Amino acid sequence: MKTRVFHPENGEDEIKEAARILRRGGLLGIPTETVYGLGANALDEEAVGHIFEAKGRPQDNPLILHVPDAGWLERYCREVPEVAYLLAEKFWPGPLTMILPGKDIVPGRTTGGLSTVGVRCPDHAVTRAIIREAGVPVAAPSGNTSGRPSPTSASDMLEDMDGKIDGIVDGGACRVGVESTIIDLTVSPPQLLRPGGLPLEELRQVLGEVTVDKAVTQQVAEGLRPRAPGMKYRHYAPHAPVTVVTGAPHRSAAYIQAVLQEGEGVICFEEFRERFAGRVRQCLGSAWDTAQQAHRVFDALRRFDSTEATHIYAQCPDDSGLGLAVGNRLKKAAGFHIVDADRLPGITIGITGGTGSGKTSALRALCALGGRIIDCDAVYHRELAANARLRQDITRAFGDVFDGEKLNRQKLGGIVFSDPEALHRLNGIVNIHLLPVIRREAEGHLIVGLDAINLLQSGLAALCRETVAVLAPTEQRVRRIMERDGISEDYARLRIGAQQPEEYYRQHCSRILENRADGPEAFEEQARNFFRELIREVFDHE
Ligand code: TXA
Ligand code: MG
């Protein structure tokens, strides 16, 4: 079948021709403000049957009747309550579908055998004109192949339906971008069956109490039939599996950045796009603009099918306003595979190791995964300058080791490095003053790396979920610090000899990162993979 494309801007005849397709039982793609619909005469069982065939849609999934105005309600619905007219007056034409008791004139094929019908009046003048011209209500599911993201432009719909339908009316891009909100008025209080282009808050302003069907927020259990039968199917799904990440935007971004592997893709908020530069990436719009997100969500999902992405991580808005609909579509695309970044505990990773082993590259790797790096030595020196109590405590323990406010490192070193007891005491004092400062700096960050040579001796390890020692073969370390610091081989060996032996780290750290790479870049990549694995493991555990 050749699919004809109608251009309504070319005049009345296009509308007449399109309406003729409906009247004679054909299939017509129609633009609406929400998504493109796959329309047929709702009263013609055979025509409706073709909709199910073209979409590959399960037969038990009822279709929405599209009407040009509220005056048509009486034709297809029984016992229309006053509130239905009130809603129509306020929100029609617009993205609201009402479920009402149906009349027998609507065939079982259309209603999926239910005694109710869903009715809506789309906010697209061309489509209303076509329905009026055809003189029949139009049954129209979204114009995608069953299971795929809904189409929000004529070209998206043709991607799925070219050759399977008689015609499509190109009415431009859909203004809203997610399907209509479905409200069931046959129960009391009314129930939201599907969040959509009309926010729940606005419905509640008119209706008062509105309950929310479970199928909106969670996977429908095997064998159960939700009130909107369509809510039980995996929907909107790109080929690659999807994980939805909820929570404060900076936290969801941090989580994704930390766990994202080579070849995996991201749907992110505009504000975080730079973080995912070089990745297969789709932007959902600003984190604070749910209308823009609704507009983009299906397109973003659809675009992944022309990429090689093996998995997709999606940032997700909270449930207010259109966020409820956007989040619902993303979660359905993910089969409700959801990570709540707000509920993940922050992970603090202490990183230590002798000079020349590659600690700096390891820190850079963690930073590239979005980790907040805290240089504990720098904090110590800042505190020494700023914190009179710290200076006082040191003076009380070791005598006057300050020149004015400046620590005389040689003097203090002379005392503590020859006397383990004294070193222990110094560590204790510093610890008391540093822990709260570092804790404060780490607060609110999902992933923190503590850069601390004395991680184990200083007691800072107490702040860490994991302690990582970066180790490298001695010969490699000697060469590296000779080059880096321009020192002789003898001096390099002396310095390394004065530090803790490998065994010490192996005994006291929870993880070992062995630097056997040739060159810092190769090691940085090794370290990135190491930390990503570690972070995934810890989060999976939570
Ligand atoms: O925005 C929209 O509503 C779009 C455009 C084309 O108008 N249409 C749309 O249709 O999204 P569809 O078929 O993709 O989704 C209709 C949803 C399904 O989940 C279906 O189960 C539910 O509406 N539905 C239809 N009639 C119903 C009824 N009588 N009772 C409960 N749920 C119903
Ligand atoms: Mg659909």
Task: Tell me the pLDDT tens digit for each residue of 18-51.
Answer: 999 999 999 999 999 999 999 999 999 999 999 9
pLDDT in tens, 59-116: 889 999 999 999 999 999 999 999 999 999 999 999 999 999 999 999 999 999 999 9
Taking CB atoms and a 6 Å cutoff, what residues make up the pocket around ligand 1?
A: 32, 34-35, 37, 61-64, 97, 99, 111, 114, 116-118, 120, 122, 140-142, 179-180, 182, 193-194, 227-231
- Indicate which ligand has the atom closest to the C-alpha of 120: 1
From 116, 179, 184, mutation site for ligand 1 pocket: most ligand atoms within 8 A of C-beta: 179
* Confidence label for 228 from pLDDT (cuts 50, 70 and 90): confident
CA torsion angle 152 154 157 159 (round to 10): -120
Token pair for 36: 């493109």
More confident residue, 230 or 73: 73
Examine the pLDDT at 234 and tell me if it is beyond 80.
no
Using the mean position of ligand 1's atoms as its centre, give its distance from the Cα of residue 50 in Å: 17
- Indicate which ligand has the atom closest to the C-alpha of 40: 1
Using the mean position of ligand 1's atoms as its centre, give its distance from the Cα of residue 235 in Å: 13
* Confidence label for 55 from pLDDT (cuts 50, 70 and 90): very high
- Indicate which ligand has the atom closest to the C-alpha of 35: 1
Token pair for 95: 């993205």
Using the mean position of ligand 2's atoms as its centre, give its distance from the Cα of residue 156 in Å: 14
pLDDT in tens, 367-417: 999 999 999 999 999 999 999 999 999 999 999 999 988 999 899 989 988
What does pLDDT average to over the chain? 95
Using the mean position of ligand 2's atoms as its centre, give its distance from the Cα of residue 134 in Å: 23
- Quote the CA–CA distance of 425 and 408 in Å, as a whole number: 17
User: In sequence order, what are the residues at sequence separation of 6 or more whose Cβ sits closer than 8 angstroms to the Cβ of residue 473?
Assistant: 516
Examine the pLDDT at 121 and tell me if it is beyond 80.
yes
Q: Which atom of ligand 1 is nearest to the CA of 34?
A: 1
Q: What is the pTM of this model?
A: 0.89
pLDDT of res. 417:
83
- Quote the CA–CA distance of 42 and 139 in Å, as a whole number: 5
Distances from the Cα of 300 to the Cαs of 152, 173, 261, 338, 506, in angstroms? Answer: 11, 14, 20, 18, 47
What value does the mean pLDDT take over residues 230-256?
90
Buried b (16+ CB within 10 A) or exposed e, 289-325: bbbbbbbbbbbbbbbbeebebebbbbbbbbbebbbbb
Using the mean position of ligand 1's atoms as its centre, give its distance from the Cα of residue 136 in Å: 18
Using the mean position of ligand 2's atoms as its centre, give its distance from the Cα of residue 504 in Å: 61
